[in-house]
Amino acid sequence: MMHGIFSITHRDPSCLARTGRLLLPHGEVETPVFMPVGTNGSVKAVDFSVLDDMGIRLILSNTYHLFLRPGVDIIREAGGLHSFIGWQGNILTDSGGYQVFSLAPFRKIREEGVYFRSHIDGSYHTLTPEGVVDIQTAFGSDVMMPLDVCTPPGISKKEAEEALEITTAWARRSKERWESLREESGGLLFGIVQGNFFHDLRRRSVEEICALELPGTAIGGLSVGESFPVFQEFLAFTAALLPSEVPHYLMGIGTPEYILEAVEQGIDMFDCVFPTRTARNASVFTRSGRISLRRERFTRDFGPLDPECTCYTCRRYTRAYLRHLFKAQEIMGPVLATIHNLHFLFTMVEEIRESIREGRFSRYKRAFLARYQEGTRADENE
């Protein structure tokens, strides 16, 4: 079942990188695209008007968090998630599976679904594949993700295989429910590939998930604690197996290094809390590397965060002032640094798209990284 929601517009001749257009209920999105994360229905420290102005048309939000607080009923009563949070761009909601495994103080996986306790108040809850589709339908999510089982590196093959099998079974049930609700939801359901760090399991998962012919495919279970070379290997291996014509979403990555790696392997979508979280911790991207504004050397640095950046923060404020805001624990430190980091990544991804259109992505990647990584190392060694 293809939905005609995705069209590839350019392919880079030297690798798998491609540009495309993703047609979602709340408007078209150019790919590759970075999705800022709005866990609780707010991209932390940045107003939606800023995202509007940056041209951001797709964010990620979190089913687990919103299910626990404020709860599905309130979002439904508000008229859906877009209306509740006051944003009319597209929203992809993850399934909550990842958060159940990483946040809940207790969880038990059964064939029917997952039982867990809330990390907020310890209350007991159940999520089933069908329930998760129902919740995302109530949210009015533009892209829904099915409940899956994400596993860390280092587990046995048997455990990885069990997680894979549950993930596939749940994906089938999710699809069934999603299809039965198509009339009340315009949202798309993507599949999620698991398989841990075993080549044959990754291959099997791709085959099983892609057989469902969902409108998009995500790679889950990467960037979960493995080394960068292992990430590279399993990304390249898995991405190459995906059908070319659907959008490829790599879950949970968002540093410049990981983004460039992902795009090179034909990934179209990615999300990560890193750019916003690291900004709140006074760490900002520049062309010449990621720098910590807490460094002594910025005390009297009256230049912008990045002299090549055109974001609001760089046009108005200096490194010395931002450093002062962080030292004085002023809220505007995180706010202004977040604006900068999102603008930086958004601009970088725009440049990536341009380089693909012009068939020079590999050169762009090399040039970007040479300068960026040298600066990052220099800052870290201070």
- Active-site amino acid positions: 94, 271
Q: Is 299 a binder of a second copy (CB under 8 A)?
A: yes
Query: Which of 98, 317, 364, 372 is in the footprint of a second copy by CB under 8 A?
Result: 317
Tell me whether the omega of the peptide bond preceding residue 70 falls within 30 degrees of 0, making it cis: yes
Q: Is 86 a binder of a second copy (CB under 8 A)?
A: yes
Q: How far apart are CA 142 and CA 363, in angstroms?
A: 34
Q: Is 302 a binder of a second copy (CB under 8 A)?
A: yes
Known binder of ligand: residue 148?
yes
Residue closer to a second copy (CB basis): 87 or 368: 87
Going by DSSP bridges, is the β-strand pair 188-193/291-292 parallel, antiparallel, or unpaired?
unpaired
How far is C-alpha 299 from the chain's CA centre?
Answer: 34
Q: Mask: binding to a second copy, 16-45, rule CB under 8 A, as x and -?
A: ------------------------xxx-xx
Q: Is 335 a binder of a second copy (CB under 8 A)?
A: yes
Q: Is 157 a binder of a second copy (CB under 8 A)?
A: no
Q: Is 89 a binder of a second copy (CB under 8 A)?
A: no
3-class DSSP assignment, residue 65: helix
Q: How far apart are CA 235 and CA 228, in angstroms?
A: 10
Query: Which of 34, 67, 84, 346 is in the footprint of a second copy by CB under 8 A?
Result: 84
Query: Which of 292, 320, 350, 354 is in the footprint of a second copy by CB under 8 A?
Result: 320
Half-sphere exposure of residue 94, counting CA atoms within 13 Å on the CB side?
32
Going by DSSP bridges, is the β-strand pair 188-193/216-219 parallel, antiparallel, or unpaired?
parallel
Q: Is 331 a binder of a second copy (CB under 8 A)?
A: yes
**Angle CA 6–44–24, to nearest 5:** 15
Q: Is 324 a binder of a second copy (CB under 8 A)?
A: yes
Going by DSSP bridges, is the β-strand pair 58-62/90-94 parallel, antiparallel, or unpaired?
parallel
55: tokens are 């041209």
For the annotated binding site for substrate, the residues are 94-98, 148, 194, 221
Interacting residues with a second copy (CB under 8 A): 40-42, 44-49, 65, 69-70, 74, 77-79, 84-86, 280, 299-300, 302, 312, 316-318, 320-321, 324-325, 327-328, 330-332, 334-336
